[in-house]
Amino acid sequence: MSIPQPAERHLTTSALVIGTGGAGLRASIELAERGIQVLAVGKRRKHDAHTTLAAGGINAALGTMDPEDSWQQHAADTLRESYFLADPEIVEVVARGAARGIDDLERWGMPFAREDDGRISQRFFGAHKYRRTAYAGDYTGLEIQRTLMRRAAELTVPIIDTVYITRILVSDGTVFGAYGFDVVDGTPVVIHADAVILAAGGHTRIWRYTSSRRDENTGDSFRLAALAGARIRDAELVQFHPSGLIEPEDAAGTLVSEAARGEGGTLTNARGERFMQRYDAERMELSTRDRVALANYTEIAEGRGTEKGGVWLDVSHLPREQILEKLPRLYRALIDLQMLDITERPIEVAPTAHYSMGGVWVRAEDHGTGVEGLYAIGEASSGLHGANRLGGNSLIELMVYGRITGETAAEYVRGRIEVHRDPAAVAAARAELEAFLHSTGTETPRRLQRAVRDVMTEHAGVIRTEESLREGLAKLAALEARAKNVTAHPDIAGFDDLAHAFDLLGSLLAARATLESAIERRETRGCHNRADFPETDPALRGNMIWTPDGGVEFEPLGDAPESFRALAEQVTSDAVEGKLVE
């Protein structure tokens, strides 16, 4: 039975925010506080955005625990951990603005953990020189999302969390809105807006094992921005978390918190060997995220993994009371997902794609994309993390740039005196959507999405070579050809199938950007491991910039300012005592 599609709906707002996670909400709040009409739309329920999964904490050099900390040291730690691929100007903006970001959350009722005297507690995270990570238990992201939702409600920010945006509308290089549809009833939606802020996440769902849940981080933001005329930076730089679940299949990649290793968990291969001795004999399981992920991958790739393609993470030797007190969420998750009692048996894990450190190219001062009126923030953007993300920086990034971009977009909207709407752009977006619904093709989006994930896992995982990357591109080209025969079949349950079709388009574009950029980065640096180029190349200290028509161009990076350059270049201690792993 075919489901009739309702008539097109037209909405108008001064500023449109695409994405209802922490980044989108923070920008929406800033716009509303400045008296600008704003509309936030998203494809996932606003109470369950990806931000809620962030556990560890949020960084700012508050000095509540270590008075000698400073924004300069925070910036230095960030730049050094990025393997000097972060944009120094973006790093400075975030480090300088971090304390204000914490203050905003505090004013809006964020329940930070506190010391007995009322100070905000701060703890060590890996690669930080001082204690600067504020937190709320092991659910910091969830509390941030709740806090921002409350503030948005106080400001009566309109949020529609069932709208899938398929195109950003552009006329003569300037945005004038977006096109999409309601995933519940299929209503096509035209949203006219003077400014658009893209906060739709990253692209880690294009790997088989990923910490992202189904139907999020599929590369939507890459495609929306690229088709609007923006550029993609550092698509190849993806952080792989060492420990994701292998089973069940529909939860493959779900994170096993690094707190498990932090509490004393051990890693062994199928032979029972505690293999971290080979990779970091001093720090063992408390080594950095990229090194442990590489170790896990190598054990599996060289035939010492389990039959299902993993390694064992074991906490069963720890006291049961310690596990229930320190790892309660992990304990419950494994019972729910596998009926596995981690106090008695080890967990089978493998590296999982965790965070897009690349994304849409943005200016340091305001996160403008180069397309007039279009901004990008959060995991959709790039420039802060380089080749390795400093733990705790993603949450403070959305607070700092959510505010700055909201402020900039407000000024832009107030100063815009003429808007040109191009009917041809709307017609093209409408035709693209209708083509899926009227297609007589036989390909289903879910099947091709899985094929994309298989290609990326095999050819663009933790370790890469040019030969394998080019093989991946050839396979991807075949999938792109098959995608032309994709059809969507909405049913009485809704238009999810149509959303999957557009997810597929985003995944295909993001996969191509990643493969082509990874080929051009002929070095090993941070998360990017090239077996055929095992050394770091100083000449490649810069960013790979990708566009659909132009491919990859290399953009060198400038030096860090004197305010924190020397600090960043200092050799730091690898000691892990008292620190959480990343």
Any catalytic annotation for residue 367?
A: no
Q: Exactly one of 205, 241, 500, 512 is catalytic; which is it?
A: 241
* Per-residue buried b or exposed e for 142-169, using 16+ beta carbons within 10 Å of the residue's own CB: bbbbbbbbebbeeeebebbbbbbbbbbb
241 is catalytic: yes
What are phi and psi for residue 196, nearest 5 degrees?
-130, 130
Structure tokens at 178: 């977006």
Residues 6+ apart with CB under 8 A from 436: 486, 487, 488, 498, 501, 502
Helix H or strand E encompassing 409: helix 393-415
Q: What is the DSSP letter of 208?
A: S
**CA distance linking residue 213 with residue 53, whole number of Å:** 10
Instruction: Report how far residue 18's alpha carbon sits from residue 222's, in angstroms, rounded to the nearest whole number.
Output: 13
Measured CA to CA, the distance from residue 441 to residue 483 in angstroms comes to: 9
DSSP state letter for 85:
-
Structure tokens at 58: 């949020």
Q: Which two tokens stand for residue 419?
A: 């808007």
The three-state (H, E, C) secondary structure of 435-498, written as one string? HHHHCCCCECHHHHHHHHHHHHHHHCCCEECHHHHHHHHHHHHHHHHHHCCECCCCECCECHHH
- Among 261, 453, 512, 521, the one annotated catalytic: 261
The residues annotated as belonging to the active site are 241, 261
